[in-house]
Amino acid sequence: MLEGYTLFLFLVVMVQLFSGVLANGLIVVVNATDLITRRKMSPLGLLLSCLAASRIILQLCILFAQLGLLCLVKSSIFAYNVAFVFFINELSLWFATWLCVFYCAKIATISLPLFLWLKMRISRLIPWLILGSVLYSTVTVMIYGRETSTIPKQMYASFFSENATQVIKLHNMALSVIILGLTLPSLIFIVAVLLLIFSLWYHSWKMRTVVGTSRYTHISAMLSFLSFFILYFCHYMVALVVSTQGFHLGSTDFLYCTLLVGMYPSLHSVILILGNPKLRQNVKMFFVHCKRCHCVRAEITSRK
């Protein structure tokens, strides 16, 4: 029988998992349906699908870490796959960064030659950026795996225990790889999102004197990207503290941090659907189509 405290945390974990998998799964299904019907996928759809798929895998990894800390599964499931978790987390950060760069290039109005060049070519660059992110994350995780290969797996597993007395000392190279892998995409993201928010604010400020124009769209977009920035930055900071062993991984603080990290891939995907008119419309059409199929099946079953 679960205690009240453990039961509450378990319910929070399940809500995070359900909302995240549902939102990200809808993004993948909608874009896959679009690919099947139109025989092609837009660069934005490809990027959203990759981001959603990586977030689903990341949330499953976070789930196993949380359940291990709640003593509901063996913590070794997570501890033996630290390198894989590091790879998926870094890949998810890169995809989110390129999504912000894509929106910045398409929406922001900045009269710089480099920015104008990026605005014209960002759609064609998306597949190469995705491929480059996969290669970069693979190289960094291989370096990390090589540097930590001398650490016994049993020590990793015991380190997730609340009563553990051992401390894992990472090599300087492994620590540098972790920090670089998390910081590089985050720096690009921060620059892109700040340029985007500033451009939207400036455009909204210029429209204040125009009669009959609505600033609601710009303000809504600014709030959406601001929430994206807050969730991304919180995820980055917590991931950095956890990766550099800012506190004991088996402690209660680590459990709360995993809950905070789990908010990012689930909550932002929901915001992404609500803030993207085309994606929101496609999700509505998907639910309507599913409802019609259910009604047809029910009618056929009743006739039989």
How far is it, in rounded angstroms, from Cα 304 to Cα 299? 9
Give me the mean pLDDT over the 132-156 stretch.
72
Evaluate the CA torsion angle 121, 124, 130, 131 in order and state its sign: negative
pLDDT grade for 237, boundaries at 50, 70 and 90: confident
This model's pTM is above 0.75: yes
pLDDT grade for 98, boundaries at 50, 70 and 90: very high
The listed range with the strongest mean pLDDT (24-38, 119-133, 173-187, 192-206) is 119-133
Q: pLDDT tens digits for 254-298?
A: 667 777 777 888 888 888 887 777 777 777 776 666 666 656 565
What is the set of domains in the chain, with CATH numbers? Answer: 4-207+214-303 (1.20.1070.10)
Count CB atoms within 10 A of the CB of residue 174.
20
pLDDT grade for 209, boundaries at 50, 70 and 90: low
- Those residues whose C-beta lies under 8 Å from the C-beta of residue 33, and which sit 6 or more positions away, are 282, 286
Q: pLDDT tens digits for 162-193?
A: 544 444 555 566 677 778 888 899 999 999 99
- Those residues whose C-beta lies under 8 Å from the C-beta of residue 270, and which sit 6 or more positions away, are 19, 23
C-alpha closest to that of 227 among 196, 257, 202, 254 = 196
- 58 alpha carbon, distance to own chain's centre: 8
How far is it, in rounded angstroms, from Cα 23 to Cα 147? 36
